[in-house]
Amino acid sequence: MTRSAVDLVVTLGLAAGAIFGIAGSVVPDAELRQLCWLIDGVGVVIATTLIAIRCLRAGQDLVAGGFLVFAMGECLLVGSASAGLTESIPAFGGGVALWSAGLLLISLPALFPGWVRVVGVLAALLFCAVSVGIALGQPLTPIARPLPFFGYPFVVAAFVGWTLYQRRVTEPRTVRQP
């Protein structure tokens, strides 16, 4: 697959994640919500895994690990979405804990521009608060307000940044040996 084809798949996956993730958070119908989150999750897992591969090839191991951890968190969310809002709380807590860790691993190194990194750290902190709240017994469903509901726009902003700047992740330059 060419680099531009991978760019397109990453862009479509993150766009699906952004659009269907937010849509799933606001639709009132449970079945439609679950379908939206299924599409969202599959797109995000594909996109973040492809970015992780690109980062590994470029020698950006910490960022690559972050994208893989984020993808694992998304897998938990996809697997639990059809359980229903209340029944999915434990898996949701684990999923957003992995999101939080992944976002930090992606955002702390200086690979992406500052605004993308700041948005990623803010999202990580918000979802860390959600996962800790769930671990302490708070019944935070995926659509609870203020959190996690108001954390999603920060993740979507990170998706936008990852999409815009995915070409920054390039193959490492080889150094000629004398």
Give the model confidence (pLDDT) of 88-135 as tens digits. Answer: 999 999 999 999 999 999 999 999 999 999 999 999 999 999 999 999
**Mean pLDDT within 130-151:** 96
Confidence of residue 172 (pLDDT cuts 50, 70, 90): low
- Going by pLDDT thresholds of 50, 70 and 90, the confidence category of residue 139 is very high
pTM of the model: 0.93
Alpha carbon 9 to its chain centroid, in Å, reads 15
pLDDT of residue 175: 44
Q: Are the beta carbons of 105 and 65 closer than 8 angstroms?
A: yes
Specify the residue for token string 């302490």. 136
Query: Element (H or E) spanning 77, and its range?
Result: helix 61-81
Ramachandran sector of residue 38 (left: φ over 0; alpha: ψ -120 to 50; beta: rest): alpha
CB 52 within 8 A of CB 15: no
pLDDT of residue 178: 54
DSSP character at residue 82:
T
Closest listed residue to residue 43, CA positions, set 11, 77, 13: 13
Taking only the tens place, the pLDDT of each residue in 70-91 is: 999 999 999 998 899 999 999 9
pLDDT of residue 177: 53
Closest CA to 43 of 70, 3, 62: 70
* 17-72 tens-digit pLDDT: 999 999 999 999 999 999 999 999 999 999 999 999 999 999 999 999 999 999 99
For 160, the token pair is 């936008």
Query: Taking all residues of the chain, what is their mean pLDDT, rounded to a whole number?
Result: 94
Closest CA to 84 of 141, 21, 45, 145: 141
The closest of 97, 94, 77, 73 to 85, measured between CA atoms, is: 77
Please give the torsion angle defined by the CA atoms of residues 172, 71, 148 and 97, in that order, rounded to the nearest 10 degrees: -90
Which pLDDT score, from 0 to 100, does residue 164 have?
Answer: 94
> Where exactly are the structural domains of the chain?
3-167
**Single-letter amino acid code for the residue at 159:** F
